[in-house]
Amino acid sequence: MSKHSALNTFGRSGNPAFSKGFEVNENITGEVMTLNGTVNKTGILLALCVGGAFFGWNTPGLIMPSMLIGLGLAIFTIFNPKNSAYTAPAYAAIEGVALGGITMLFELQYPGIGIQAIGLTFGILASLLFCYKSGIIKPDENFRLMIFAGTMGIFVLYLVSFIMSFFGNSIGFIHSNGIFGIGFSLFVVAIASLNLVLDFDFIEEGAEKGMPKYLEWYGAFSLMVTLIWLYLEILRLLSKIRR
């Protein structure tokens, strides 16, 4: 499969939410997507996520139910982007509950790790936004294909490890705090971070093309998916370093 056919088949972003969400085949009428609108809605989702995290901090028993509900909402939103004005806020709040509980459990073992992970997550977000806007990083076709391949490779590896866990086995280096384990986590953090660049590019493209207004919520949702993934991977990396 050539680079062109691969990108046409799977979409131009490593984030599956964007790959699906920007397949808009309708005539665009009425209000259209804007950068400011997407930024504002991203802020709303972040606030809901933080609120959920405060609640989840004291209710770690809700981690698994929240993650499962969040996964269901994410899948539904990806295939029904027109409903994202309702499902994206619900997703952000529910995932916040899960993140709060997860962070609390990490804090019990590694005090201060939550603040470190939050700082690194938003530091990476700000740095990559600057690099994107200044043209230091340009998401051309080769860049998109590389990030897509890396993202799918990580997903398949995690899926295989999850299936193996039912048989009492695992892929050791994923959880190891040795050189290979830390190196793997660094690679995953890098891929998750660079997915943000693709997110920025697709949001900007959607605004420039005057895509439908509901895609502001969808764009904000997709950014949240990447940020949550990045935050969890940074938590994992920091915990390996501090063992």
Q: What's the pLDDT band for 43 if we cut at 50, 70, 90?
A: very high
* 11 assigned to some structural domain: no
- Three-state SS at 65: helix
- Domain annotation covers residue 218: yes
Q: What is the pLDDT of residue 77?
A: 97
Residue 85 falls within a domain, yes or no?
yes
- Spatial distance between the Cα atoms of 74 and 13, rounded to a whole number of angstroms: 16
- Whole-number Å distance between alpha carbons of 74 and 58: 24
In a domain? residue 203:
yes
The CA dihedral of 142, 130, 133, 88, to the nearest 10 degrees, is 80
pLDDT at 137: 93
User: Has residue 21 been placed in a domain?
Assistant: no
Q: In terms of residue numbers, what domain contains 220?
A: 30-242
Spatial separation of the C-alpha atoms in residues 38 and 226, rounded to whole Å: 15
pTM: 0.88
**Number of structural domains found in the chain:** 1
Q: With respect to residue 9, please indicate whether it lies within any of the assigned structural domains.
A: no
Question: In this structure, what DSSP letter does residue 15 have?
Answer: S
Say if 216 falls within a structural domain.
yes
